[in-house]
Structure 1
Amino acid sequence: MSIGQHIITERFYGAKSHTIDNVDIVLSRECGENTLAVVRINNALYQLLVNDDGKDVLNDHVEEVGASFGAWTGSSAFPIGPFTPLGTEQSNSSFITADNKAIVKYFRKLESGQNPDVELISKISSCPNIAPILGFSSAEISGANYTLVMAQQYVPGLDGWSHALTTTSGSFAEDAEKIGEATRNVHTALASAFPTRVVPVEALADALTTRLNELISQAPEIARFKEAAIDLYQSLEGDAHIQRIHGDLHLGQLIKTPERYILIDFEGEPARPLNQRRLPDSPLKDLAGIIRSIDYAAYFDGEHTQWANEATALFLDGYGSIEDQELLNAYILDKALYEVAYEINNRPDWVKIPLEAVERLLD
């Protein structure tokens, strides 16, 4: 079988409904009995560790993960396995080193430009609420730079989503405040490391309206909210501060340690092109992501409305002053509308959760 026949079964390959017209290997290195390769499929690039049959075997050959990192970097300094796979996410595959000191992430679908996960964390290494970068590898392909793999300090602990689900019948107060503090610290560090600017809120409202129209094209059921949502967006006034942000923040992107919360996975929304994910945005977008995640946790096992309200208030207390509550509400609405579209197309039984949030916000 060929690479094209195998890759359509992979979770990270998102073009399963498209016919594969061509598969070209544009970069390769021998790695044990297999080949580490960057392949172009219908003008998109993917990173694979393939066997002679063309099957991706990266998760099956964890003993070669460290060797493959060395194959790209040309260095033998990085530790060789055995590594423990964390599973394949939408756009990457991650492994923990045998000594539990590092997590190695292979970016599966590649886009030109430095990956935000590497770019952002590298510039805020002194922030106590991130896990420092230990190394990364990139390659020039057709005149453009691509980030292939990164190694980051491994932080053991429970992710914020899993922890929140254990507390919906109890107190999440201290955690919510710590998450707010961690988010503020990261935003402050990013604002110091990258340019910031002030823009008319109207520009952000226009972007939210554009996104609304995109969501309606994906899930026409959302159209019934269009008029009310646009009214809310157009009512926004004044100026807003924008900067580099996490871009896809939710409880699952946090690791709880005894001392603090650590923010992880700074890639931004995986469905958006990389050049868009690297654009500055309002920090309130990250806050909206956490608030919506809290709402999901509250409804995951029953309806813990009071828990969600208290957790949200304490999260915002931990973060500090909010420059524009109405703009925050607009970002919460945007996130909830995105969730409605996602759930309709992927998990229709869950659509009630964001749908009720949209109705509350537009009431």
Structure 2
Amino acid sequence: MLISQPMTSDTAWRDSHSDPQFWAMLAQTLLPPYVNTCRWFAGKARPQTGFSVKTVHTLALSDGDIAYLLILEAAYADGRPEKYLLPISFLTDHTTHTLSFQPASVPEKARISDDITIGKETGMLIDAIYDDRFRAVLFTAIYQNQTMPQTDGTLTFHRGKGLDEGDEQLPSRVLPVDSSNSAMTFGDKYFLKLYRKLFQETNPEVDMVAFLTDESSFDHIPAFGGSIIWQGNDRPDITLGMVQRMVPNDKDSWMQTGDYLNDFLYAVPQRLFAIREDVFDKVELLGRRTGEMHCALYKPSKPNAPTDPAFEPEPFTDEYREFMINRLEDLLERRYALLIDNYTKLDLQAQRLAWVFMEAKEMIDTFIADFRTRPLSSQRIRIHGDYHLGQVLATENDFVIIDFEGEPESSIAERKIKHSPLKDVAGMIRSYHYAVSAKLFNSVETDELNPDHLQRVSDRWFYLIRDTFLDAYLDVFGAPHPLFKNNSEINFLLLIYLLEKAVYELGYEISYRPSWVKIPLKGIIDVVREIEKIRLSDGEVTPHVPMLQTGLLQTKRE
């Protein structure tokens, strides 16, 4: 939405970087209504107290004009302010003849102002990603490993191994996708992601993709082409953007799995249990690729080749255990309260599962307490952190793993914490469980079938797929491997992460999809069943801690 009144400034555009009054006026008038229409701005629902331009970076364009990279701060009535990246460009009659596009072709959502006078020229102020001169400057700077000193720090452009020789100048375009970041392509060969919301340290995705590309032979990711880093003298570096190779793909693995499940779904009403052999082949392949990714991320230091400390494997320290225990206990406390408040809104099957979950509270508490003291010799590494079927692209005969930013709701520091790679494995296992459950319980083909029968059929498919994935994954490492001491530790740690993931999912489903609550609840009950087996095998059944109340789940079979 554009404001009606025009804005004017006596300072010429190329001199505006040193005019604080100009940026203050822009932040008070034009930017608030514009930014609040942008998909990438996350503060729309928060009471805002104002915007301010904290830093102005200058980029020289190829025709002698300039663009600015603004570091914009949004302040709120409650909570901390947020910083965003906003590149801006000024299009005038003087510059139009040098452009390979016409200002009229700039989409409405890119226009900050159609009528603004800066210095002695009147023109259009736009988000600079829609100016091909700006896009060209970013890509060329990355290709050439340029550094650009600024008033506040330095813009450093790093080139990665993923850029080919001879690709310095390529045609570019903005992808018409609204998301939390901005996406541009170059030659339909490279993908540049400009991060809009900024954090006071490097983005974990850039760290991970650069490490896997430059320090390993794992090539099942879009290769790292480069990054844009804002370096300061007295603060951590801040990531502004990243280039990767584009990957031709048919769909993500969530969609592919849904396609495979259609055949299974159509057979269920006929009381046929059918899984095509190529489904197992795909699951095995993804298990292997996941294991290979984690092997690539496991790189301990050698005497003459130290590893970056950010990627050095670490043991299960007391500090890490306390972090995980506090996270789990907090999640559980809030989920128990949510279930109690919403119990009557659940269907009968979900109510039974919820009751068993709440009755197992003491057993879960004992299991978590065991995590605090149980001897563990397995190791922790950097992991994907938000691993599920939607993060894997299905190519013609293989897979490509994408989106290494980590859990969206976690802080940047939390996303860089090292975990057992089994945390990623747990995420994928939960994703397979969601795939089959969502398909069977939300399809017209199964509307008339008994929910308990559907649950048993769903379980059979899921357990086969889970075991196929996990076996293929572990085969990659061989035994023994420093990441996994033995099967006992593998089973114990996998349950910790499966419990964390399913309890996390439960909160979302209660709040937004009550009809899906049974999916994470069933995942939790599966974990509790395995916890019970560990208690029995350890010979540590505490009398005052009741066993799992499985009788509550038993129903009459058809």
User: Fold-level match, TM-score > 0.5?
Assistant: yes
Q: Is 1:136 aligned to 2:274, yes or no?
A: no
Is the contact made by 1:244 and 1:281 (CA closer than 8 Å) also made in structure 2? yes
Deviation at 1:101, TM superposition (A): 1.2
Distance, in Å, in 1 between the alignment partners of 2:196 and 2:183 is 10
Q: Which runs of 4+ in 1 moved over 6 A?
A: 30-34, 54-57
Higher relative contact order (CA 8 A, sep 6+): 1
Distance, in Å, in 2 between the alignment partners of 1:53 and 1:216 is 49
Distance, in Å, in 2 between the alignment partners of 1:348 and 1:68 is 49
Q: Is 1:357 aligned to 2:523, yes or no?
A: yes
Distance, in Å, in 2 between the alignment partners of 1:72 and 1:40 is 26
Deviation at 1:167, TM superposition (A): 0.7
Q: C-alpha deviations, 1:231-251, integer Å up to 9, x for none? A: 222234221311111111111
Q: Is 1:229 aligned to 2:319, yes or no?
A: no
SS of residue matched to 1:82: strand
Distance, in Å, in 2 between the alignment partners of 1:65 and 1:262 is 30
1:38 to 66, 71, 87: 71
Instruction: Name the residue aligned to 1:266.
Output: 404
Deviation at 1:29, TM superposition (A): 4.6
User: Rg: which structure is higher?
Assistant: 2
1:238 to 375, 378, 392: 375
Q: C-alpha deviations, 1:188-227, integer Å up to 9, x for none? A: 1111162112225x65553333113443576532684754
Instruction: Name the residue aligned to 2:323.
Output: 207
Is the contact made by 2:389 and 2:432 (CA closer than 8 Å) also made in structure 1? yes
Q: Which runs of 5+ in 1 are unaligned?
A: none
Distance, in Å, in 2 between the alignment partners of 1:227 and 1:358 is 14
Instruction: Name the residue aligned to 1:297.
Output: 435
Deviation at 1:68, TM superposition (A): 6.5
Instruction: Name the residue aligned to 2:181.
Output: 92
Is the contact made by 2:188 and 2:246 (CA closer than 8 Å) also made in structure 1? yes
Counting only pairs closer than 5 Å after superposition, residues 59-138 of structure 1 correspond to structure 2 as 61=130, 63=132, 66-67=135-136, 69-70=138-139, 77=168, 79-85=170-176, 87-89=177-179, 91-97=180-186, 99-125=187-213, 126-138=217-229
Distance, in Å, in 1 between the alignment partners of 2:516 and 2:364 is 22
- Sort the Cα spacing of 1:56 and 1:347 in 2 relative to 1 into closer, same or farther, 3 A: farther
Instruction: Name the residue aligned to 1:186.
Output: 293
SS of residue matched to 2:298: helix
- Sort the Cα spacing of 1:173 and 1:46 in 2 relative to 1 into closer, same or farther, 3 A: same
Matched letter for residue 151 of structure 1? V
- Sort the Cα spacing of 1:242 and 1:34 in 2 relative to 1 into closer, same or farther, 3 A: same
Q: Which runs of 5+ in 2 are unaligned?
A: 4-29, 76-80, 89-110, 115-123, 147-156, 158-166, 265-274, 300-306, 341-357, 442-457, 476-486, 530-558
Instruction: Name the residue aligned to 1:197.
Output: 314
1:345 to 500, 507, 511: 511
Matched letter for residue 56 of structure 2? L
Deviation at 1:307, TM superposition (A): 2.3
Deviation at 1:263, TM superposition (A): 1.3
- Sort the Cα spacing of 1:146 and 1:163 in 2 relative to 1 into closer, same or farther, 3 A: same
Distance, in Å, in 2 between the alignment partners of 1:94 and 1:259 is 26
Is the contact made by 1:215 and 1:222 (CA closer than 8 Å) also made in structure 2? no
Matched letter for residue 318 of structure 1? A
Is the contact made by 1:294 and 1:308 (CA closer than 8 Å) also made in structure 2? yes
Percent pairwise identity = 27
SS of residue matched to 1:40: strand
Instruction: Name the residue aligned to 2:85.
Output: 47
Distance, in Å, in 2 between the alignment partners of 1:56 and 1:215 is 46
Deviation at 1:102, TM superposition (A): 1.4
